[in-house]
């Protein structure tokens, strides 16, 4: 039974979410502000966090930042902020998904199922290591060594690299990446890929503005290249 922490300052929404999640056999913890959310997070160590950005004390972005300092638990962000810049900021900080208010309950529950399934799915850990002269990716141990220094990658970054590493040097389309990494209900959220590709380039590439390993085919997809020559 999964533990889901719901963080929102709208009591009616929290109550509705809790009822629906418990009806699907999840344990639910709730918090109405950022500080209470962080306390509940550390006490219960939930399997998933549903996090509103518009909290009355700590901004939800700050809560997400503090969670990501200590945990890779899936986080689904809820927000009335629909601007692309807000989505990019949340994804850049490590959110796994972003749902804009108002939303359909069934859609949110589907995204919860996908996030929890990914958490328990270790399929990408069977991938063989991928190595270049600059970095070594060990999918079995989830270890990334870049220029001799071990570097932390987020679970979503690992999933994205695993999909690309299955077909090194070959184009993987945006739609395929979104479905493989985020789930079958995705296919048009190209901004997700853009954010994570930029994050990975800052970690993997000697010159992120001129990538040689994680290459974009504009309008089509991405390739993970080995060393040339």
The pairs formed by 158-164 with CB atoms below 8 angstroms and a separation of 24 or more are 158/124, 159/118, 159/124, 160/193, 160/196, 160/197, 160/200, 161/130, 161/137, 161/200, 161/224, 162/124, 162/127, 163/124, 164/214, 164/222, 164/223, 164/224
Categorize the per-residue pLDDT at 185 as very low, low, confident or very high, splitting at 50, 70 and 90. confident
Could you tell me where the beta strands, DSSP code E, fall in 38-134?
Answer: 48-52, 75-79, 97-100, 130-131
Categorize the per-residue pLDDT at 18 as very low, low, confident or very high, splitting at 50, 70 and 90. very high
Candidates 157, 161, 139; CA nearest to 195 is 157
Candidates 22, 155, 14; CA nearest to 78 is 14
Task: Report pLDDT for 162.
Answer: 92
Task: Report pLDDT for 209.
Answer: 94
> Reading across the β-sheet that carries 214-217, which strands appear in turn?
172-173, 221-224, 214-217
Q: What is the mean pLDDT of residues 94-116?
A: 90
Q: What is the mean pLDDT of residues 58-85?
A: 86
Task: Report pLDDT for 229.
Answer: 42
Task: Report pLDDT for 30.
Answer: 97
Rounded to an integer, what distance in angstroms lies between the CA atom of residue 46 and that of residue 221? 34
Query: Over pLDDT 70: what percentage of the chain?
Result: 95
Q: Which of 90-94, 136-140, 224-228 has the highest mean pLDDT?
A: 136-140
Task: Report pLDDT for 121.
Answer: 57
**pLDDT, tens digit, for every residue of 171-183?**
999 999 998 888 7
Q: Count the neighbouring beta carbons within 10 Å of the beta carbon of residue 142.
A: 15
Q: 102: which DSSP letter? A: S
Domains of the chain: 3-120 (3.40.50.2300), 123-224 (1.10.10.10)
CA pseudo-torsion sign 208, 210, 212, 213:
positive
**pLDDT, tens digit, for every residue of 26-49?**
999 999 999 999 999 999 889 999
Candidates 83, 81, 78; CA nearest to 97 is 78
Cβ pair 142, 130 in contact under 8 A: no
User: Hey, what are 61's tokens?
Assistant: 């972005």
């Amino acid at each position: 039974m999964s533990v889901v922490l719901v963080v929102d300052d709208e009591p009616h929404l929290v109550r509705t979410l809790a009822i629906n999640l418990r009806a699907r056999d999840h344990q639910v913890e709730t918090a109405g502000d950022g500080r209470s959310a962080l306390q509940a997070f550390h006490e219960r160590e939930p399997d998933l966090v549903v996090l509103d950005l518009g909290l009355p004390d700590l901004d939800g972005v700050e809560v997400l930042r503090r969670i990501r300092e200590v945990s890779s638990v899936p986080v689904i962000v809820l927000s009335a902020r629909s601007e692309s810049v807000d989505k990019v900021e949340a994804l850049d900080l490590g959110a796994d998904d972003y749902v804009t208010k108002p939303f359909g309950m069934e859609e949110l529950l589907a995204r919860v199922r996908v996030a929890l399934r990914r958490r328990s799915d270790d399929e990408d850990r069977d991938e063989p290591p991928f190595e270049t002269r600059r970095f070594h990716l060990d999918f079995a141990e989830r270890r990334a060594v870049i220029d001799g220094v071990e570097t932390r990658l987020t679970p979503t970054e690992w999933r994205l690299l695993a999909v690309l590493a299955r077909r090194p040097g070959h184009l993987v389309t945006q739609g395929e990446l979104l479905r493989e990494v985020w789930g079958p209900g995705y296919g048009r959220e190209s901004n997700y890929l853009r954010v994570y590709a930029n994050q990975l380039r800052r970690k993997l590439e000697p010159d992120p503005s001129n990538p040689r390993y994680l290459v974009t085919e504009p309008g089509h997809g991405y390739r993970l290249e080995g060393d040339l020559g």
